[in-house]
Structure 1
Amino acid sequence: MDIDHKSMEAAGKAIHDEGGEFATAIRQDRTNVEALRVYLGGDEAAMIFRRGKDGHPGFDSAYQDLSDALNNLSKSYEAIGAAVTAMSKNVKAADWANMVDKNAFVHDLVEFAKQKPKDIAVPTTPVELA
């Protein structure tokens, strides 16, 4: 398989990094929305708006759902980036395995390396120390 691994791994890192950049960018937006809570008041209408009523979610619930979704999106960028990098490494490993199967010399060398010590001939000629 012809893949430019350097390019693929760079793309994976870039996607991963974008997740961090996204998290940083939305942090300020969260702070701005959080600051609005002090203006929601404490009267009955404000409480209904914040907590909801009759099974309908309010601001607090929607805010939490949005926060969870944004966190998941940020983590998804990071996970996708890591997966692209891992995919490149897996393809490299598969390419190596394929090359071993096609190249008789490398195949023989790998098979030799798999031998246990008892299978390898060891000279038994006595050696005298001078």
Structure 2
Amino acid sequence: MDIDHTSMENSGRAIHAEGGEFDASVKPRRERLEALIPHFGNPATDEAARLFRKGADGHPGFDSAYEDLTTAHHNLRKAYEDIGNAVVGMSRNVQAANWASMVDKNAFIKDLVDFARRKDDEVSVPTTPVERA
């Protein structure tokens, strides 16, 4: 398989970074909305606030929708990061598979790898005496 691994890994890192950019762009909007929540009334003491915030007759209210929005925001950010990491991982896995395939097909490389994996063996040392002049 012919793959430009540098490009693939750079793309994976870029996708991962977009998760952070997405988070940074959404976070201020969530904070502005969150600051308004106290103004929506106290559901414990106000019937209109309870209906709006908690819902009624099986219909969700604002609080439930806000939790869903928070979960979706977290999941989208995490998905960008996970997809980016997966793209980088795929590139590295293909590189490893290509290396393993090349070792199996090329006898010279296989011999080098086998040589590198050998256990330490005795090194021949000359035993001829040397005389000093």
TM bucket (normalised to shorter chain) is: 0.7 to 0.9
1:52 aligns with one of 46, 51, 55: 55
Give the equivalent residue in structure 1 for 2:72.
Answer: 69
Give unpaired runs (5+ residues) of structure 1.
none
User: In the aligned structure 2, how far is the partner of 1:34 from the partner of 1:64?
Assistant: 11
**TM-score, length basis structure 1:** 0.87
Q: Which has the bigger relative contact order, CA under 8 A and spacing at least 6?
A: 1
Partner of 1:8: 8
Q: Which runs of 4+ in 1 moved over 3 A?
A: 127-130
Give the share of equivalent positions with the same residue, in percent: 57
**Secondary structure of residue in 1 paired with 2:56:** coil
Residue among 107, 110, 127 paired with 2:110: 107
Measured at CA, do residues 127 and 81 of structure 1 come closer, stay the same or move farther in structure 2, by a change above 3 Å? farther
* Aligned CA-pair RMSD: 1.9
Which stretches in structure 2 are left out of the alignment for 5+ residues? none
Instruction: Measure the CA separation in 2 of the matches of 1:68 and 1:127.
Output: 78
Q: Deviations over 1:31-73 (max 9, x none)?
A: 1211221331342111121122344321111101110111011
CA deviations 1:76-121 (Å, max 9, x no partner) are: 100100110111111111111111112211111111222222xx45
d(CA) in 2 for partners of 1:86, 1:4:
14
Q: Give the secondary structure class of the aligned counterpart of 1:81.
A: helix
Decide whether aligned partners of structure 1 residues 98 and 29 sit closer, same or farther in structure 2, where only a CA change above 3 A counts. Answer: same
Match of 2:20 in 1: 20
Q: TM-score, normalised by structure 2?
A: 0.86
